[in-house]
Amino acid sequence: MQPAAFTIDLDDGTLRLKATGDWQARHLGAIDRELRDFEDDAVGRELIIDISGVERLDTAGAMVFERMLRACDARTGASKIVGGSPAQATLIANVAPHVAPCDVEPARRNAFVMMVNRFGQGLFEGYHAAIEILNFVGLTLTALMRVVKEPKRLRVTSIFWHMEEAGINAMPIVGLMSFMIGAVVAFMGAKILRLFNAEVFTVELVGISVLREFGVLLAAILVAGRSGSAFTASIGAMKIREEIDAMKALGLDPIETLVLPRAIALVLMMPVLTFMASVLGVIGGGLVAATAMDISPAFFVGRLQETIALSNFWVGLIKAPFFAFVIAIIGCYQGMEVAGSSESLGQRTTLSVVQSLFVVIILDAFFAMFFLEIDY
């Protein structure tokens, strides 16, 4: 018994493959690479397979012959298998319907259509993500109502621990960045206002922009990147290790145990971070005013008190808890959605930061229009 073998001839542009030997499964592995190389070379050409020299043929061999006929659009009306016995022909005919068709080159698609399709798909996915997050907000508020009715269910230790991790440990970076932003705003504003001999209005520029917008917005952005992603990573890691499933088996509510303490801690600490960011931002602006514009600290503070309404400070503090709640909810939701792989954890952590920043900016725009409408 001879192992499977084949030879290839070219006759007037037609490829002729002559198969010999034993074409059964145990012998085909030795020539599989050669057969696939031949299939690649036979693309778009007429092919005739002569199996008159085949001694034995099983299902695997019949599938190989049929696959070669279909290889990458090689099959034409003249492509065929010849020379086989009736039994071999019957076997090949029975196998043919079960051979998967070869891949064909995908049709070229219009770039504009693809762009519109991707945009629509993004809108559809965003809509469903928004619905899921709103459902998650409902679950969190339900858990909060249970805790209000039964205060002993509140995990005070967990809240204080997250207040330290998400709030107190974030103070250095929030304070430094706020100080630098205040200094940059004052410096750039002074450069522009000097053209109109109005450097003194740098005080109003720094006061309004930092107290009303930059303080709370910068704190929210840094907390979203630092603490929001940490919430997703920690809960996602628990999801991968099936710790959340174990909590459910023990009768513990993951929302009440994991989500609520993080949300309460962040809501309590965000106004503190906003207050610190606003104060340090104003100090940074005052330092630049004193060094670059010869505006004394006493004059800076005095004009700040005279021209900047206290409402600008309260606007920043009012927005802080809402930003904190959104960041905590999105971070915890994405953590709960992690599948059983590290790749999913990375994707969800990225989504957590992106969605948190997007929603925070949208909320900030809404609050800005609202407070302007009520003249506050």
Helix, coil or strand: residue 18: strand
How far is it, in rounded angstroms, from Cα 47 to Cα 37? Answer: 15
Q: Are 217 and 211 in contact (CB under 8 A)?
A: no
The angle, 0 to 180 degrees and rounded to 10, between the axes of the packed helices 111-149 and 260-292 is 110
- Above 60 in pLDDT, residue 74? no
The angle, 0 to 180 degrees and rounded to 10, between the axes of the packed helices 215-223 and 260-292 is 130
What's the pLDDT score for residue 102? 52
Mean pLDDT of 209-222: 93
Q: Which residue has the higher pLDDT, 16 or 348?
A: 348
Residues 6+ apart with CB under 8 A from 62: 88, 91, 92, 94, 95
pLDDT in tens, 328-346: 999 999 999 998 778 889 9
How many residues does this entry show for the chain?
376
- Above 80 in pLDDT, residue 77? no
What does pLDDT average to over the chain?
86
- Amino acid identity of 10? L
- Above 70 in pLDDT, residue 303? yes
Tokens of 186: 């004052």
CA-to-CA dists, residue 342 to 237, 348, 349, angstroms:
8, 10, 11
Helix (H) or strand (E) holding 16: strand 14-23
CA-to-CA dists, residue 127 to 77, 237, 255, angstroms:
50, 27, 23
State the Rg of the chain over Cα.
35
How far is it, in rounded angstroms, from Cα 163 to Cα 170? Answer: 10
Mean pLDDT of 86-110: 69
The DSSP symbol for 103 reads: P
pLDDT in tens, 174-188: 999 999 999 999 988
| Identity of the highest mean pLDDT range in 70-84, 150-164, 281-295 | 150-164
What's the pLDDT score for residue 107? 52
pTM check: above 0.95:
no
What's the pLDDT score for residue 3? 78
Mean pLDDT of 17-26: 81
How far is it, in rounded angstroms, from Cα 137 to Cα 326? Answer: 9
Q: Are 323 and 250 in contact (CB under 8 A)?
A: no
pLDDT in tens, 345-355: 999 999 999 99
Percent of the chain clearing pLDDT 70 (strictly above): 92
pLDDT tier at 59 (50, 70, 90 boundaries)? confident
Helix (H) or strand (E) holding 300: helix 297-307
Domain ranges of the chain: 5-98, 154-373
- Above 80 in pLDDT, residue 289? yes
- Above 90 in pLDDT, residue 319? yes
Residues 6+ apart with CB under 8 A from 326: 356, 359, 360, 363
Mean pLDDT of 223-236: 93
Note the CATH architecture for domain 5-98: 2-Layer Sandwich (3.30)
Tokens of 234: 């920690």
From 31-45, 163-177, 190-204, 359-373, the region with the lowest mean pLDDT = 31-45
How far is it, in rounded angstroms, from Cα 127 to Cα 294? Answer: 53
